[in-house]
Structure 1
Amino acid sequence: MHSNARTTLHARRLIVTRRAAGWSPACIAEQLGISRATVHKWLSRHRREGDAGLLDRSSRPHRSPRRTPVEVEDRILAVRRRVRRGPVHLAGLLGLPASTIGRVLRRRDEPALAAVDPLTGLPVRRRHTGIRYERPRPGDLLHVDVKKLGRVPDGGGWRVHGRTEAARGRGIGYDYLHVAVDDRTRIAYVEALPDEKDLTCAGFLHRAVAWFRDRGVVVLRVLTDNAKVYRVGGNWRAVCVALGIRRRFTKPGCPWTNGKAERFNRTLQHEFAYARAWTSNTDRLTALPDWVEHYNTRRAHSALGGQPPATRLAA
């Protein structure tokens, strides 16, 4: 009901019922504490439209000659979705008042900038304290990142021998875990490689795309950080062009934009790399494929309702 309405649907039906019982409009108005004009209004609507005439109506005017034309509203929405900026910025681009642009955005139910991902423009879902978004189909976006892990010395590091042996393993280098996580399904593909150079990263992407293709997923876009190898690497760009993959980059200073890969790296650290005291680097690398298989097919994923990522692939 309108906040200032003096009658409810029940009261309007009471007007009609009592008029049919022979009550005069003046008596009905006095008994209900309303004006006789209001009584005549509802009786007239009931005669024309029946019970439907007693329902609330919109207060919107029948004509709005000064309303912004539809084609202008469509242009506002198109520019908003392309640049993802507020009414003041759009006003400078379109030559329209910011107040007009704001009204159009509200009238057309355009989500606030805080409610969309700044990189992709997709709506985000807030859960607890985090922000999550997801593409509608597997392969629409592949999150790629590299996690650098210190190699385990033969015989084990300080986790085996204690803090007094903290120097064990220093200077023996790193394993570079190249990670690719599908945005929709959260299925991950991982390789341990000796470095993160252009040719190495390009080869990893080529094998990752083939691995996903064998599972029925066609990769259309790849999202990475702004490392030089991804921005200007010739081999990386060549693989993307050859496979028809569009490159996307995180917003500078906003690593959470590539959050699915970042979160997978954290899980990989806590549940695999540092979950036990390894006695050699070879043992850890040998166990990596089995752990990734467990992650994809058996480990419960909180963002998927407690189901493993493979269930999204089969859906």
Structure 2
Amino acid sequence: MSQKSSAPITRTHAAGAKPPAERVVRDIRRATRKQHSSEEKIRIVLEGLRGEDSIAALCRREGIAESLYYSWSKEFLEAGKRRLTGDTARAATTDEVKALRQEARTLKEVVAEQALELRLLKKHERGWGRPRMRYPGTEKLEIIRLVEQSHLPVRRTLEHLGIPPATFYRWYERYQTGGQEALADRPSRPDRVWNRIPDDVRGRIIDLALAEPELSPRELAVRFTDRERYFVSEASVYRLLKAHDLITSPAFIVVKAADEFHTKTTAPNQLWQTDFTYLKVIGWGWFYLSTVLDDFSRYVIAWKLCTGMAASDVTDTLELALTASGCTQARVRHRPRLLSDNGPSYIAGDLADWLARQQIEHIRGAPCHPQTQGKIERWHQTLKNRILLEHSYLPGELEARIEAFVDHYNHRRHHESLNNLTPADVYFGRAQAILQERERIKRQTLQQRRLLHRQQAA
């Protein structure tokens, strides 16, 4: 027989507020809901199957919804169908079936672990499970078969084998796409390298090293580039000489690219940085901005908006910088050094000849290491953050906007790395006077604050 729940209907509400009517009705229905046993469910389903009354009349008499009746009927018919097909597990209760299945699963896992450990004992001499172990294709296939046939989960099986899951799934993917042949080890070195130096050029580098053994790999790279008009890096020359056992002096050391220069500049016009950047004019295409920036003060000495990135554009910008800095009129002790990347215009022979005539030393940063030219790269970012906010439709419009921003950058924008001075203050030698004046104002302000504090305390 069904029983009604004796749970209280009313609920306690804060501050004596009455519950809404819908909530009260819902609580009453929930508390007085009739609970049907399995025997009653079977009886109701059988009465519906006999067809003496309609399903709607039967549900009204029993006080249930039609959807609930059809749900019971579906479960009843499915259970009978499984029993007729030989599902003897239905004779046991649900809890018993679950317990038996869990016990069978546990026994299978124990047996699988024991079998796996016995298998690994045979493979211990082969080195299975060691870190960074390299397996041939046949053993990779054996491991895949072992994981597929194991009753343990994949991760537990791989833990016993000592193989990372990522490695196993990479093998499995290759096996599914290419079969057993795809599991063979692949050579770590590529067959061909697109930037490999030709053999005839390698021979000429070796001849130059034998003819002038006093040169370091860096000097050999520069000398070869200047003479042969063919750029080779210092690292490439070092590796080539080391392969031929021509590195005999400890002075021949490859300089590792650092985040900044170890020997920093101490005055303006000691080192200039130069580079190109891209700017687009709507309807005209891309234009290229060539800039010369002083390393010590970050002062933009000269710039030029070009239609290309030729060596002549670089020399034109450098001539503007020499005129603006006064290095062509005044007698200077040392010419400024030039720092650039390894772009085509900066490794050109015409630029090398022009720099040699001007007695300007050229330094190139390490390949794929733009941090060496970090100051001018940061200038490009600052420029584009301001210039690209609006579109330019004429080259003259873009040039005027660049000129206005360069004036702002040099004379009005304070740099944190320059002790909050403008590049013009540092470049023209006003930095020390400005800093001293700021220090004097600071001392005077602190003195006034102390005096005011004493007056208020008295």
Q: Compute the TM-score of the two structures, normalised by the length of structure 1.
A: 0.50
Does residue 179 (structure 1) correspond to residue 294 (structure 2)? The answer is no
Matched residue, 2:362: 247
Matched residue, 1:194: 307
Q: 1:307–1:118: structure 2 CA closer, same or farther, 3 Å change rule?
A: closer
Query: In the aligned structure 1, how far is the partner of 2:364 from the partner of 2:260?
Result: 8
- 1:94: Cα distance to partner? 5.0
2:268 to 138, 148, 167: 138
Query: In the aligned structure 2, how far is the partner of 1:220 from the partner of 1:310?
Result: 18
Unaligned stretches of 5+ residues in structure 2 = 1-215, 220-233, 235-247, 430-458
Deviation string 1:153-193 (CA, Å, 9 cap, x unpaired) is 3xxxxxxxxxxxxxxxxxx3211100111000110122111
- 1:119: Cα distance to partner? 7.5
1:32-47 equivalences in 2 (<5 Å): none
Deviation string 1:246-279 (CA, Å, 9 cap, x unpaired) is 00000111111011110000001002x2133445
Contact map agreement 2:341 2:370 (CA 8 A) in 1: yes
- 1:222: Cα distance to partner? 0.2
Matched residue, 1:208: 321
1:14-53 equivalences in 2 (<5 Å): none
Q: 1:304–1:242: structure 2 CA closer, same or farther, 3 Å change rule?
A: same
Query: In the aligned structure 2, how far is the partner of 1:200 from the partner of 1:245?
Result: 17
Q: 1:258–1:94: structure 2 CA closer, same or farther, 3 Å change rule?
A: closer
Aligned identity (percent) is 22
Deviation string 1:201-237 (CA, Å, 9 cap, x unpaired) is 2222222222222798874200010112211x23311
Query: In the aligned structure 1, how far is the partner of 2:310 from the partner of 2:393?
Result: 28
Q: What secondary structure sits across from 1:285 in the alignment?
A: helix
Query: In the aligned structure 2, how far is the partner of 1:314 from the partner of 1:197?
Result: 31
Q: Which has the higher strand share?
A: 1
Contact map agreement 2:281 2:398 (CA 8 A) in 1: no
1:286 to 377, 387, 400: 400
Corresponding letter in the other structure for 1:151: V
- 1:290: Cα distance to partner? 2.0
Does residue 304 (structure 1) correspond to residue 445 (structure 2)? The answer is no
Deviation string 1:44-84 (CA, Å, 9 cap, x unpaired) is xxxxxxxxxxxxxxxxxxxxxxxxxxxxxxxxxxx9xx99x
Corresponding letter in the other structure for 1:313: Y
2:340 to 224, 228, 235: 224
Q: What secondary structure sits across from 1:230 in the alignment?
A: coil
Q: Which has the higher helix share?
A: 2
Q: 1:137–1:283: structure 2 CA closer, same or farther, 3 Å change rule?
A: same
Unaligned stretches of 5+ residues in structure 1 = 1-78, 84-91, 96-112, 123-133, 154-171
Which of 274-283 and 209-218 deviates more?
A: 209-218
Query: In the aligned structure 2, how far is the partner of 1:211 from the partner of 1:190?
Result: 11
Query: In the aligned structure 1, how far is the partner of 2:290 from the partner of 2:388?
Result: 17
Query: In the aligned structure 1, how far is the partner of 2:250 from the partner of 2:277?
Result: 44
Q: What secondary structure sits across from 2:346 in the alignment?
A: helix
Query: In the aligned structure 1, how far is the partner of 2:391 from the partner of 2:316?
Result: 31
Query: In the aligned structure 2, how far is the partner of 1:119 from the partner of 1:298?
Result: 26
Contact map agreement 2:268 2:427 (CA 8 A) in 1: yes
Computing the radius of gyration from Cα coordinates, the structure with the larger value is 2
